[in-house]
Chain A
Amino acid sequence: MSKKKDASPQTVTLPSNDLSRLFQVLQSRGYTILGPTVRDGAIVYDELDSPDDLPRGWTDEQEKGRYRLKKSGYGTYFSFAVGPHSWKQYLYPPRVRLWQMHKNGTGFELNAQNGPLKKYAFLGVRSCELHAIEILDRVLLQNGFEDPTYKARRKEALIIVVQCTAPASTCFCASMQTGPKAERGFDLAMTEVADGERHYFVLQSGSDAGREIVQELACAAATAEEIAAAEQAVKAAAERMGRTLDTHGLQAALYANREHPHWREVGERCLNCTNCTQVCPTCFCTTVEDITDLTGATAERWRRWDSCFTMEFSYLHGGSVRSSAGARYRQWLTHKLASWVDQFGAFGCVGCGRCIAWCPVGIDITEEARIMCAETVNQ
């Protein structure tokens, strides 16, 4: 493709009525568009054909252990916070076949191929989610330890941010310094502005691929007022964040409190259901399962998401290392907010609030971390 630099503006305005043009441009470039849509009482991610599939007029109400889809009363497309799905499910799928083997005479024939990958455009990535992808990059694309299934999908994915203007009461990205505004790491970033009669998107490109799309859209350059209105919408979001987490000294406090009696108290409430780890956009643990067919002529190895809340996860000869529910909860919370920093140089939490809303008994990571760090108590 041409890399011709020209004077066309890189911050442009797309009227909301023209959103379908963005879809067409992406589709003509061979992208399958993934983004938010309403299904079964929530806003989930799925393949989208046109803007009609977007959750226009919908919003959400979130609290610990509770999510409700609501009519927003506005004609906006993106007035909601993150739902139960995350981009992890596309970049790092829940189940992947690693290989298949067939008996072949006295030997074996190995097949490590999987079908061709689709070229995905992720539409509606929030800042917290973009940071979660960056965290997964650190975990899964480290030199010498690259995960090929992640790498292949990550390389193909076009990232279109929609800046967050409607945080939920479970959100705390501002505390984690992961949002609400995405500054870099995207191909395109859009901000939705509904300003009285006018409804438009301010588009900004962040890569060559993004620039080409902006060029093809041939929109008018954004005016100073439009850019200011977009900035203001995101700024207001930071002030409406429902939760906070004080990260100052957090790592040291958690390590100091590894025998805090409160771990056991949370363990009494925790169901070990794994929901928090499954919805978390950064949890990366997997296990492998080996299966055969009835005749034993074909064997397959599958990788699937695992969780530190299962007994199998820490099973060594003789039993599970983390046999109590409190120990398993401690593993989760201290991994996210302390040992992750030692491993990967940043927190393993981006403050998206999913684990709070989707915990069936409403266990809140910000609340538990606060109690755990209030004072040093060891039993």
Chain B
Amino acid sequence: MKTKRKPKLAVWKFASCDGCQLSLLDCEDELLDVVGEIDIANFPEASRAVVKGPYDISLVEGSITTPKDAERIHKVRRASKVLITIGACATAGGIQALRNFQDVDQFISIVYASPDYISTLNKSTPISEHVKVDYELRGCPVNKYQLLEVISAFLNGRRPVTPSHSVCMECKQKGVVCVMVAHGTPCLGPVTHAGCGALCPSYARGCFGCFGPKETPNTHSLSEWWQEELGASKGDIIRAFRGITAYAEPFRKESEAYELQ
């Protein structure tokens, strides 16, 4: 058998809070086990050392918000065999994509003393709007076990197990009491991508959609129910869909539909 070269893993940061990188740092026990098996070539939260590319796997955190980053992501893509985006910022534009619904120049003129120093784009956009993405991992932040699962899957040449059904399915399999049915609390679980293990409903909170839209999200039916049965106002619905994954298309369209009414 020929000896395998150690795969090189790199982590890249764009506009983000570093939370997803911290989820990776939180995997230290598991990663230490494989230090002999993979080279961590670039990981800004862990070390400033940079190993030159090309990289076998690049994990990209953050969205594209500046002209410079819009360039830089292409370099990352060219240097990476497999590019995986991690988290809501990289896959949907993140909370900073709330700017996409407003006039950014106006913000800049109000907030900054010298607006000329600010070089920013009008929109915060997901990585997939700029380069080809091989795999998207959802969450704000990503779930530690899902992150390990995706890395293991790519290292072992198999398909990752990160199903795209609803949060409800995880919620029920965990035996959590539904907060919407039993407490009347609005919950985005039925339209949100699984992966967190129904974290918020486990603490009697409604899901606020941080994993973004699931497959076949029927946002319209859910908002109608909220309005008719849970007494939600149009503003409540706009705010619910305009959160961490506001710019993901099904959520964006739902909030915009209520804004137009």
Contacts and interface: CB of A to CB of B under 8 A. Distances in A.
Interface of A: 39-42, 44, 65-69, 84-85, 89, 94-95, 268-275, 278-279, 289-296, 304-305, 307, 309-312, 325, 357-358, 360-362
A67 B181 contact: yes
Contacts of A268: 218, 221
Given A44-B175, A361-B221, A292 B152 contact: yes
A262 B44 CA distance: 55
B118 interface: no
Given A293-B152, A312-B163, A362-B229, A269 B221 contact: yes
A65 B225 contact: yes
Mostly helix, strand, loop or mixed at chain B's interface? helix
A305 B168 CA distance: 12
A105 B162 CA distance: 30
Interface string B157-168: 010010111101
Given A65-B229, A271-B222, A272-B218, A304 B181 contact: no
A125 to B, nearest CB: 18
Interface residues of B, number: 46
Interface of B: 30-31, 33-34, 37-38, 148-149, 151-153, 155-156, 158, 161, 163-166, 168-169, 172-178, 180-184, 187, 189-191, 204, 215-216, 218, 221-222, 224-225, 229
A360 B177 contact: no
B222 A41 contact: no
Given A290-B161, A291-B152, A361-B225, A270 B218 contact: yes
B56 to A, nearest CB: 13
A360 B30 contact: no
Contacts of A274: 165-166, 168-169, 172
A43 to B, nearest CB: 9
A10 B109 CA distance: 86
13 contacts: A41-B177, A66-B181, A67-B181, A67-B182, A84-B182, A269-B218, A271-B222, A278-B172, A289-B161, A292-B153, A310-B215, A312-B165, A361-B221
A271 B182 contact: no
Contacts of B175: 44, 85, 89
Nearest to B30: A294
Contacts of A312: 163-165
A304 B176 CA distance: 16
A42 B222 contact: no
A63 to B, nearest CB: 10
A37 to B, nearest CB: 12
Contacts of B191: 271, 273
B178 A275 contact: yes
A311 B215 CA distance: 7
A132 B181 CA distance: 23
Contacts of B173: 94-95, 278, 304-305
A293 B158 CA distance: 12
Nearest to B145: A291
Given A67-B182, A360-B222, A294 B164 contact: no
